[in-house]
Chains A and B, each alone.
Chain A
């Protein structure tokens, strides 16, 4: 069996720990190296996952034994890392959102195409079994012609981090979660967003520099309408990290998806702050996604969610910000 050697460039995004764990569990991947501009964080991760630590990612990219890299840096750093990785001939798994500016996204796609490497986006929901069952039901024609797709991806508020620093994240809740739902909707409808309208709320957490609540309405080219709520609106005491729900209405029926409902719950006397907690027994989306990334390289096929899908999500995200700023809908494709 062909084995793919992998490195992770930055553990800034907490998903990196889950991906590293998944690589360690795969039979056809070897997790070799870590780079991080936060030396302490990077060394700790390298120790934990028994990999080499190389502070500068550019030095790491020079290693010829590395076939593929994961870009889990702060959002604004994705562009330079993806471009450098492509130029070094490495296949890339990039955390969402692909980029925080459209010109970055286009430069990334061009570099990837020129180098002939794979670029896969961490749109993990495409690997969620329940979300896949919806895709299959839609394709079977179970609900007829699609008419309305509404989605939520609402998060429990989390600890202070670079997500709250717009210079590193490129934005708040809109930047963080628009892309997951847009990707599922594009996947299900087979269409692209034509018009975006977003209202950004006054914050739930007034101390944040970035927005934490928003609502987006979408019109797709094939006349499907949709909406997105990706707010960080669950309180700290919420019983799980958040949700992904979708209501898919067609001419013949409706599908409701609550993707992370596969849980056992506990109610513990010693956890007065979070009395009820959900414990997932559902599918391991991170592992399935990482496994598919490796298999795409081994079998030389295109990822399910590739660079173009990342770019389209970024475009809707940026259109959302523009719409909220102007108080008007924004028509896509955006003017350059």
Chain B
């Protein structure tokens, strides 16, 4: 290994740019390559961080010192890129959802195991200070045994994403797989429990039945220890709707609530606008004065795991469990039937 961890970022879009900022803050790491189909755009990003731009991961791996491949491309491309990186013996940080099928997820996990490298999926909500605090309080037993939970994540159709691939069901998995996955992963982590059964209803929109996008989902999860949870995720909100998240956990000793719309500390009002002050630049941390940038915390965690040979919190197996639930929810939404999840012995 070179003096610093060499990082190749694949994808220069919204999440790629976010990860680049975060990696640039890690003193033990250096961005050596930015990979993208549109090389001109990749060059633009690479220039900022003193890296080189490449049109393919293959070229980047052969030309640069790379220890870590950070996959920030559209979901449907994750598996091939991750496997390519594993086969080259690289550690991989992959955006969520890790894949669109369990088969692909398994191939990624197997490939990472064979290469004996670190593999983490970027379930960043675990590094959001508000959610991490909530999980800590629940773990401490403050609300007693959790009985009923409620998690919400709603926005207008996402403006980010190259050619809006998010809005193509086959590429993103729709709102159930792409967006609700945050809260499903968080609830598993927060409750320390696995989902036993899921039922979902979803709304679709689109011009033709073949190109229908699921853009609003309501799901009920039943966890093994008995906690039930309502998860709502939406890309169907009107344009002025702020990105809204909320969480409630009610238990035998009380309840806990989080709500990103009631916590911004500053509002600026002028003749032309009402704006909650945005100390960050990213839309979904708008107005949230986090003590530490959640994306930085996430990447710091992964870098530490690589440097100190420790297992990341959201490794392949752990992330597969979350993926299994959202895929089951998507199935339920289509079939109108609840899906029972397999119980490991």
Contacts and interface: CB of A to CB of B under 8 A. Distances in A.
A and B interact physically: yes
Interface residues of A, number: 39
B252 interface: yes
A252 B238 contact: yes
A215 B336 contact: no
Contacts of B222: 199
Contact of A215 (B148, B203, B241): B148
A218 B337 CA distance: 13
A204 B254 CA distance: 9
B216 interface: yes
A253 B219 CA distance: 22
Interface in B223-263: 225-230, 232, 234, 236-238, 241, 250-255
A213 B228 contact: yes
Given A148-B216, A217-B199, A233-B147, A195 B251 contact: no
A204 B337 CA distance: 27
Nearest to A206: B252
Most buried by A among B147, B203, B227, B251: B147
B251 A201 contact: no
Contacts of B216: 147-148, 225, 249
Interface string B164-208: 000000000000000000000000000000000101111101000
A213 B250 contact: yes
Contacts of B145: 202
A333 interface: no
A329 interface: yes
- Chain B: interface size category: 35 or more
- Judged by DSSP, the binding face of B is strand
Nearest to A217: B201
Contacts of A274: none
B338 A215 contact: no
Contact of B203 (A148, A203, A234): A148
Nearest to B227: A201
A169 interface: no
Contacts of A201: 147-148, 226-228
A168 B200 CA distance: 33
A14 B220 CA distance: 32
A327 interface: yes
A205 B145 CA distance: 11
A228 B252 CA distance: 21
A216 B148 CA distance: 12
Interface in A180-235: 195, 197, 199-206, 213-219, 223, 225-227, 229, 231, 233-235
B313 interface: no
B188 to A, nearest CB: 17
B341 to A, nearest CB: 13
A231 B148 contact: yes
Nearest to A223: B203
B255 A233 contact: yes
A204 B148 contact: yes
B303 to A, nearest CB: 40
B238 A204 contact: no
A259 interface: no
A227 B205 CA distance: 19
A204 B251 contact: yes
A217 B337 contact: no
A235 B254 contact: yes
Contact of B150 (A219, A223, A225, A229): A229
Contact of A254 (B202, B218, B238, B250): B238
Contacts of A147: 203, 216, 236
Given A233-B147, A254-B237, A217 B220 contact: yes
A219 B336 CA distance: 10
A100 interface: no
30 contacts: A147-B203, A147-B236, A150-B218, A195-B336, A197-B201, A197-B338, A199-B199, A199-B228, A201-B147, A201-B226, A201-B227, A204-B251, A213-B250, A215-B220, A215-B228, A215-B230, A216-B220, A217-B201, A219-B201, A223-B203, A225-B202, A225-B216, A226-B201, A233-B250, A249-B236, A254-B241, A327-B338, A328-B338, A329-B199, A329-B338
Interface of B: 145, 147-148, 150, 197, 199-203, 205, 216, 218-220, 222, 225-230, 232, 234, 236-238, 241, 250-255, 336-338
Question: Which 9 A-B pairs have CB atoms at the shortest separation, nearest pair first?
Answer: A202-B226, A233-B250, A225-B201, A213-B148, A201-B228, A253-B238, A235-B254, A199-B228, A215-B220
